[in-house]
Amino acid sequence: MIEFKSPCGHTVRARDEDAGRDVKCNYCGKEVRVPSDRADDLDFLMSEVGAASAPASPARKARGGGPFSGGRRTAESGPRDIILKLTYAAAAITAVVIVTRNYVLPALAPGEAPEEASAAHQPPPEPRPRRATFGLTDLSGEGGLYVSAIPPGADIYIVEEKSWTMGQRIVAASGSKRVGSGETFCGTEGVFIVEAVLPWNDKSLKAYPDYNSTFRRALESAEKGEASNALARQYFLPDGATSVFVTKETDQTYVVRQYKVQLRKDGWESVTAFFVPASLKVGDLVTRYLPSELRFGFDEEHVRGELEYYGVPLHDRTYVMDALTRIGAVPYDTSGGSGETATRVVRMFRIDAGTGQFRTQVLSSGGGSSGGH
């Protein structure tokens, strides 16, 4: 027996074999369709909920509902069955949502990757260059040589010491390599010679106020050899070069600075060639001739204390710190005293390219005052 609600609200009873067919409601006389399967129970359930919440019509009150009315009781007689059916309906809807989200939707978009992949299937991270906390901030690799020059237009060459002859230009040596200012030379170890070269009429050199009148005129009239070399050593600020000399070729004259350096694969060395007049003040050097890019990092409080220890006046410390931040090195004349007691001591203040540690060495020392920093 199938029981269902007619649109008039009356319960209709039909035989099981009448499922899907139209039968006449005994109450209102209209043709109604007998539910064909149990999936229609949800619609039936909703109609029962609505019927339970609506007030009964006078006709319904008159026709039934009393204890002696007779007939089979249906879902309309109590809320318990309605609540039970609502629970079943909620469970069925939840199951449909879960199945659709976890199985149906992924199947419709096979090209999309799952939101979360297991760690075992993650690709390895790309190798990244080592970035120093202190030192040269864009340094990469484990060790080597960082070279630079002031002015930066100097030609720089590197060669193994065993392939070089004392007093020889490196550019003529077998196996020499040319690099630019601000570049690195890595992947090898041993003793190397570094050479920085500028033609004597380079426009950067001629920018120094007294260069043409003081150095070039004197060099032009000096004899070739030791006299010319002495002029170059006297005019330019010392910077740790092992050799400074002038070479006169057929159609050009060059100022050459050479350095000896021990390289290793697990540490960094640096060479900075200074073609800077010894008379130039550190403030003018920083504000007029150094690049503006900040490339070196270090413990500023520690370095400031070191500069105070070595007698750098307060008004110069800011300039020296600025130079160290830009190029990692600066020669500084710490001459003291006056007259016969005057001593000239030029120190190189340097920041280690790999670690950012502060270094210093005496470049020249002797009697007599100087017009340096």
- Do the beta carbons of residue 301 and residue 317 sit within 8 Å? no
Could you tell me the two tokens for 118? 């297991």
List, as own/partner pairs, every contact residues 303-309 make where C-beta atoms lie below 8 angstroms and the sequence separation is at least 24, other chains included: 303/351, 303/358, 306/349, 306/358, 306/360, 307/349
Q: How far is it, in rounded angstroms, from Cα 142 to Cα 129?
A: 10
Single pTM value for the model: 0.61
Domain boundaries, the chain: 2-60+73-97, 135-367
145-169 burial string, b = 16+ CB within 10 Å, else e? bbbbbbbbebbbbbbbeeebeeeeb
What pLDDT score was predicted for residue 108? 56
Q: What percentage of the chain's residues is helix, strand, coil (to nearest 5)?
A: 35, 25, 40
What pLDDT score was predicted for residue 286? 94
pLDDT by position in tens, the chain (length 373) = 788 788 887 787 888 888 888 888 877 878 888 787 544 454 544 555 454 444 544 444 444 444 333 444 444 445 666 666 666 666 667 666 565 666 655 555 554 444 444 545 556 555 444 445 688 887 777 789 999 999 999 999 999 999 888 888 888 788 899 999 989 998 888 999 999 999 999 999 999 999 999 999 999 888 888 899 999 999 999 999 999 999 988 889 999 999 999 998 888 999 999 999 999 999 999 999 999 999 999 999 999 999 999 999 999 999 999 999 999 999 998 775 445 555 678 899 999 998 999 999 998 765 443 334 4
Q: How far is it, in rounded angstroms, from Cα 243 to Cα 229?
A: 9
pLDDT in tens, 103-157: 655 555 554 444 444 545 556 555 444 445 688 887 777 789 999 999 999 999 9
Nearest to 277, CA basis, from 246, 233, 317, 218: 233
What pLDDT score was predicted for residue 110? 52
What pLDDT score was predicted for residue 269? 92
Q: How far is it, in rounded angstroms, from Cα 146 to Cα 201?
A: 27
What pairing do the DSSP bridges indicate for beta strands 296-297 and 135-136? antiparallel
What pLDDT score was predicted for residue 74? 43
- Do the beta carbons of residue 176 and residue 157 sit within 8 Å? yes
What pLDDT score was predicted for residue 142? 77
Question: How far, in Å, are 305, 321, 330, 356 from residue 302 at the CA level?
Answer: 5, 11, 17, 11
Half-sphere exposure of 360 (CA within 13 A, CB side): 17
The dihedral over CA atoms of 215, 218, 224, 228, expressed in degrees to the nearest 10, equals -40
- Do the beta carbons of residue 357 and residue 299 sit within 8 Å? no
Could you tell me the two tokens for 138? 């864009």
The answer, yes or no, to whether the previous bond of 125 is cis (omega within 30 of 0) is: no
Element (H, E) at 136: strand 135-136
